[in-house]
């Protein structure tokens, strides 16, 4: 098919075009060859690469599949479409959106939904969309509300699913799936709802926006991350759930600590706010707040205070029942990871090795945390055996698929580089590790 596409010269679509060209050239594909395989005109693909035109959803899906992008092109297109929609809303002063604005919003929501099913096969997208719409329409709305209780419960369950996927899937895939669900919730958030419905809806939405913010942080997009963290704080405060507010502020502090541009003093303040919201009684959010505070203190060099705070967290953890619901991700293995990081930063070889041995035995090899524990182990020996440690860190970083790269890996790699003795920091292997990390983070 020759196809049509929308003229567009926004920065977001220019970035999409660059990503498309880089991926096409990486696979050694010519424009004509790619056009023949996805059945779109090669001149259109050229315009997409130049950022002159915005490709339609069907073309983006075909490009993502043909170039084995694993959802990354879909996520890049999603980002561009959402940016366009934000700019369109800001540029209009009319109380009612124009027909064109409504069409663009429908296209944006369609893109979000299609992106969510890239991981399971684009051919099911139309059926999935139709079934989702039909199910929602079939549920009786709560009196005076635009949603049903079943819809709210479904979004709460979806947050658990997304949180689990976030541990093994690439950030782009998770972000695309989250966008699809949040696109369904967003219109209801903008409408007047009964107070109880508004609280429940805000509760479910906050869990999604926190995951969205976290994935933007993982992908190194600080501007988007801050926007979504702010949205998360607003929503969860609307819900009135202090424990969830504490939990999500801890999640924000954990992610922001991985950003080298962040002020650790501000991150520490955020973790202490999470601790205040959790209150004194042992709970999963209190444990999360304490471990987050301990990791931040350790990163700031306050090792004794960090270990004391970690020990508080351990005592609170020992008094907990099994974590459930929104706090399900709190686990014993997470506490072992926290010990690994804190004792590594404190250069406590015995306790760090003990924690790393235990953590490696508990985390599956495909979990996003496993490479981080290995980097902790390397950092522990970087001062005494700098060349071998740096070589091992390089192998770990180089072995991570580009689609699964997260800023947290860069933080742990810098932990290795920072542990090197002064004379070893200029070794060729150290320069290579630094360059590879910078390239992955860019």
* Residue, of 372 and 88, whose pLDDT is higher: 372
Interval 153-171 mean pLDDT? 88
pLDDT digits (tens, 9 = 90+) for 362-371: 998 888 899 9
Mean pLDDT of the chain: 84
pLDDT digits (tens, 9 = 90+) for 199-231: 999 999 999 999 999 999 988 888 889 999 999
Interval 253-271 mean pLDDT? 93
190 pLDDT more than 50: yes
Question: What is the pLDDT, as a whole number, of residue 442?
Answer: 66
Note the residue count of the chain: 442
* Residue 367 token pair: 């979990």
254 pLDDT more than 90: yes
Per-domain residue ranges of the chain: 1-93+100-108, 146-240, 242-330, 336-442
Asked if 66 and 24 count as a contact pair (C-beta separation under 8 A), the reply is no
Residue 52 burial by CB count (10 A; 0-12/13-18/19+): exposed, middle or buried?
middle
129 pLDDT more than 90: no
* Residue, of 314 and 182, whose pLDDT is higher: 314
pLDDT digits (tens, 9 = 90+) for 10-52: 677 888 899 899 999 989 999 999 999 988 888 899 999 998 8
Least confident of 274-283, 373-382, 432-441: 432-441
CA–CA–CA angle 197, 201, 203 (5° rounding): 120
Question: What is the pLDDT, as a whole number, of residue 95?
Answer: 40
Q: Residues of the chain with pLDDT > 70: what percent?
A: 82
pLDDT digits (tens, 9 = 90+) for 329-354: 778 889 999 999 999 999 999 999 99
* Residue, of 365 and 295, whose pLDDT is higher: 295
Question: What is the pLDDT, as a whole number, of residue 194?
Answer: 95
Asked if 420 and 413 count as a contact pair (C-beta separation under 8 A), the reply is no
Q: How much of the chain is helix, strand and coil, in % rounded to 5? A: 75, 0, 25
Best-predicted range by mean pLDDT among 74-83, 171-180, 329-338? 329-338
Best-predicted range by mean pLDDT among 47-61, 148-162, 179-193, 337-351? 337-351
Topology given in CATH for the domain delimited by 1-93+100-108 = 434 Repressor (Amino-terminal Domain) (1.10.260)
* Residue, of 151 and 113, whose pLDDT is higher: 151
* Residue, of 100 and 155, whose pLDDT is higher: 155
* Residue, of 177 and 201, whose pLDDT is higher: 201
Question: What is the pLDDT, as a whole number, of residue 9?
Answer: 55
Residue 183 burial by CB count (10 A; 0-12/13-18/19+): exposed, middle or buried?
buried
Question: What is the pLDDT, as a whole number, of residue 3?
Answer: 44
Question: What is the pLDDT, as a whole number, of residue 250?
Answer: 97
For residues 336 and 221, give the distance between their C-alpha atoms in angstroms, rounded to a whole number: 29
113 pLDDT more than 90: no
pLDDT digits (tens, 9 = 90+) for 297-312: 999 999 999 999 999 9
108 pLDDT more than 50: no
Three-state DSSP at 53 gives: strand
Residue 332 burial by CB count (10 A; 0-12/13-18/19+): exposed, middle or buried?
exposed
* Residue, of 69 and 138, whose pLDDT is higher: 69
Question: What is the pLDDT, as a whole number, of residue 351?
Answer: 97
100 pLDDT more than 50: no
């Amino acid at each position: 098919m020759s196809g049509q596409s929308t003229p567009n010269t926004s920065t977001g679509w220019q970035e999409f075009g660059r990503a498309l060209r880089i991926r096409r050239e990486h696979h050694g594909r010519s424009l004509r060859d790619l056009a023949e395989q996805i059945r779109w005109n090669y001149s259109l693909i050229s315009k997409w690469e130049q950022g002159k035109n915005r490709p339609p959803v069907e073309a983006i899906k075909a490009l993502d599949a043909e170039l084995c992008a694993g959802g990354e092109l879909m996520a890049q297109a999603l980002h561009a479409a959402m940016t366009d929609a934000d700019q369109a809303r800001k540029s209009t002063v009319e109380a009612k959106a124009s027909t064109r604005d409504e069409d663009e919003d429908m296209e944006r929501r369609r893109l979000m939904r299609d992106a969510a099913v890239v991981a399971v096969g684009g051919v099911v997208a139309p059926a999935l969309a139709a079934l989702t719409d039909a199910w929602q329409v079939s549920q009786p709305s709560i009196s005076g509300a635009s949603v049903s209780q079943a819809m709210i419960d479904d979004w709460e369950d979806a947050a658990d699913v997304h949180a689990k996927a976030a541990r093994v899937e690439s950030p782009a895939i998770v972000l695309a799936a989250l966008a699809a669900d949040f696109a369904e919730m967003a219109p209801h958030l903008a409408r007047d709802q009964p107070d109880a419905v508004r609280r429940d809806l805000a509760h479910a939405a906050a869990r999604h926006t926190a995951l969205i913010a976290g994935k933007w942080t993982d992908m190194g997009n600080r501007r988007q991350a801050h926007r979504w963290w702010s949205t998360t704080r607003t929503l969860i405060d609307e819900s009135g759930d202090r424990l969830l507010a504490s939990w999500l502020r801890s999640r924000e502090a954990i992610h922001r600590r991985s950003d080298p541009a962040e002020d650790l003093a501000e991150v520490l303040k955020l973790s202490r706010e999470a601790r205040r919201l959790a209150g004194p009684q042992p709970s999963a959010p209190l444990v999360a707040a304490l471990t987050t505070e301990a990791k931040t203190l350790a990163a700031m060099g306050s090792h004794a205070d960090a270990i004391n705070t970690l020990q508080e967290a351990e005592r609170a953890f020992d008094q907990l029942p099994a974590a459930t619901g929104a706090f399900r991700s709190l686990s014993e293995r997470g506490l072992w990871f926290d010990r690994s990081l804190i004792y590594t930063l404190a250069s406590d070889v015995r306790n760090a090795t003990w924690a790393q041995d235990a953590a490696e035995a508990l985390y599956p090899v495909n979990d996003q945390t496993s490479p981080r524990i290995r980097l902790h182990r390397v950092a522990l020996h970087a001062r005494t055996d700098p060349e071998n440690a740096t070589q091992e860190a390089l192998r770990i970083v180089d072995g991570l698929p580009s689609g699964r790269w997260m800023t947290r890996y860069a933080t742990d790699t810098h932990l290795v580089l920072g542990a090197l003795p002064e004379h070893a920091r200029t070794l060729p292997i150290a320069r290579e590790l630094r360059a590879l990390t910078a390239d992955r983070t860019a």
